[in-house]
Chains A and B, each alone.
Chain A
Amino acid sequence: MRAPVSQAPASPDSGAALASWLWPAGLAVLSGGLLLLVALPLAGLFFTASPRQLLAGLANPLVGPAVRVTLFTTTASLALVVACGTPLAWAIARRRTPAWRVLETALELPVVLPPAVAGVALLLAFGRRGLFGPTLAAAGIGLPFTRAAVILAESFVAAPFYLQAAVAAFRRLDPDLVLVARTLGASWSRVFFTVAIPLSRAGLAGGAAMSWARALGEFGATLMFAGNMEGRTQTLPLAIYAALESDLRTAQSLSIVLVAVAFALLVGVRAGARP
């Protein structure tokens, strides 16, 4: 660290000199603290078991079904979120009226909502005694504690991440391009598919990646709404939770796998965001 430079020796300015030294030191302590808070748990995750122990942990019979359930449900939820979210984001991005602003804010709610609350809300909407439970039951559909429930829970918490990114991407689009496309005779749907989507690809892909990562990590809402049934509704985070009681190494190995996937996604999104 650079030594503080004092212009006048032992003058009333020494207070200022002290302050100029205190500030960088305080900054270093505070930011170092946060850095350790993030780094130490990761170090614990990676350095408390040998590679052989970690590989053995992955051999646990919990792992295979959990990977399958996770891949299936997160892919389905991503498809659902992208298919429904892209047109919705386009509609939101093009409108500036108060009603659409309210809708936009409401759709961001799941980001700040505690997952447990999401679980209760989903149960009260689609559960047996929920708002639509009897209607669904009459149609022979029972959602809670099924794989469909996992997909719904994941979509509920992950959709806002995709929507936010997609709305932002569509708002960055040069409005003249849309206007010119329309004067060239293009309908709104043609503008959407041939101008808006191709030119917003990077933003949409980034949002999809973040949304998929959020679905991958979904725990609370899934546990409450879909349960923790091996091979049916037990996703990787739930398998980690289940393994924690019997085999810490399995929990640790799966955690490392999820960290690696999350990190790769983050790097990919950063690289994709660069023009």
Chain B
Amino acid sequence: MSALEVDVGGRAGELAIDVALRASETPLVVVGPNGAGKTSLLMMILGASTPRRGRITLGGATLFDAEQHVDVPLERRGLGFLPQRYALFPHLDALQNVAYGIVAPSRDERRARAMDALRELDVSSLAARRPAALSAGEAQRVALARTLARRPRALLLDEPLAALDVSVRRDVRRFLAGGLRAWRLPTVVVTHDRDDAAAFDGDVLVLEHGKVVQQGRLAELERRPETDFVRQLTSGRHDLPPGAP
């Protein structure tokens, strides 16, 4: 399987970002406190913001190289992106949402391929529904179908479970973790939840103040936490509501 390799530096507002990462066989889980630069890092990889230095390659192809002045525009990077609230187009139904990104010689073929993509994620029955009539879990599947229908070469997921109720979170987490194993794409998942990190079963990269402070398997992080944030995350205290004992 190809790999997504990133080594970039730049500014995001007040924050100086300097990160190197590699995602390949297993999802790379990026965790960190609010304002650590997780989303800004995703924006740089996507091509929505320009790093000041560094390189981004995907399967050996250069997407960005500051020295060589390579900067592939984001619509041609071949990356699939799932934002936190999934960003389905509210004025289109599920099928039209999925068809939006499909390039096909005819309208019928576009719709047929969109339907296939919905079917693969078990949501073909929702094809005619507008996003407002979907539950958060259904919306996520439709958004994933939309992303995968384009056959992306890597996936970037920003807090994919944050919009879900606790009641459905476990099921969706299991489904998503299974999907990531099946789709076999280099994947970067941003999360703030220990259980998510555990379910995705990949390397965990801890970002604080725009820098990587620790990286490794979750079990290693739990054994030797190097910062207070890692200690809180791995002891599970991080997710408790404020004021809880």
Please list the residues of chain A having a beta carbon within 8 angstroms of any beta carbon in chain B: 174, 176-177, 179-187, 194-195, 198-199
Q: Is the CB of B48 within 8 A of A179?
A: yes
Q: Is the CB of B101 within 8 A of A185?
A: yes
Q: Is the CB of A185 within 8 A of B75?
A: yes
Q: Is the CB of A187 within 8 A of B91?
A: no
Please list the residues of chain B having a beta carbon within 8 angstroms of any beta carbon in chain A: 46, 48, 74-77, 79-81, 83-85, 87, 89-91, 100-101, 103, 146-147, 150
Closest chain B CB from A175 CB (angstroms): 9
Closest chain A CB from B190 CB (angstroms): 14
Closest chain A CB from B105 CB (angstroms): 15
Q: Is the CB of A199 within 8 A of B100?
A: no
Contact of A184 with B150 at beta-carbon distance under 8 Å, contacts A199-B90, A199-B91 already known = yes
What are the 8 tightest A-B residue pairs by CB atom distance, in nearest-first order? A184-B101, A176-B87, A176-B83, A183-B81, A180-B87, A182-B75, A198-B91, A185-B75
Q: Chain A's interface: helix, strand, loop or mixed, by majority?
A: helix
Q: Report how far A199 CA is from B90 CA in the complex, Å.
A: 8
Pairs across A and B, CB under 8 Å, 26 listed: A174-B87, A176-B87, A177-B89, A179-B46, A179-B48, A179-B74, A179-B81, A180-B87, A181-B100, A182-B48, A182-B74, A183-B46, A183-B75, A183-B77, A183-B101, A183-B147, A184-B100, A184-B150, A185-B75, A185-B76, A185-B101, A186-B101, A194-B100, A198-B91, A199-B89, A199-B90
Q: Which residue of A lies closest to B103 (CB)?
A: A185
Q: Which residue of B lies closest to A201 (CB)?
A: B91
Contact of A186 with B90 at beta-carbon distance under 8 Å, contacts A179-B48, A179-B83, A180-B83 already known = no
Residues of A within 8 A of B80 (CB): 183
Q: Is the CB of B74 within 8 A of A183?
A: yes
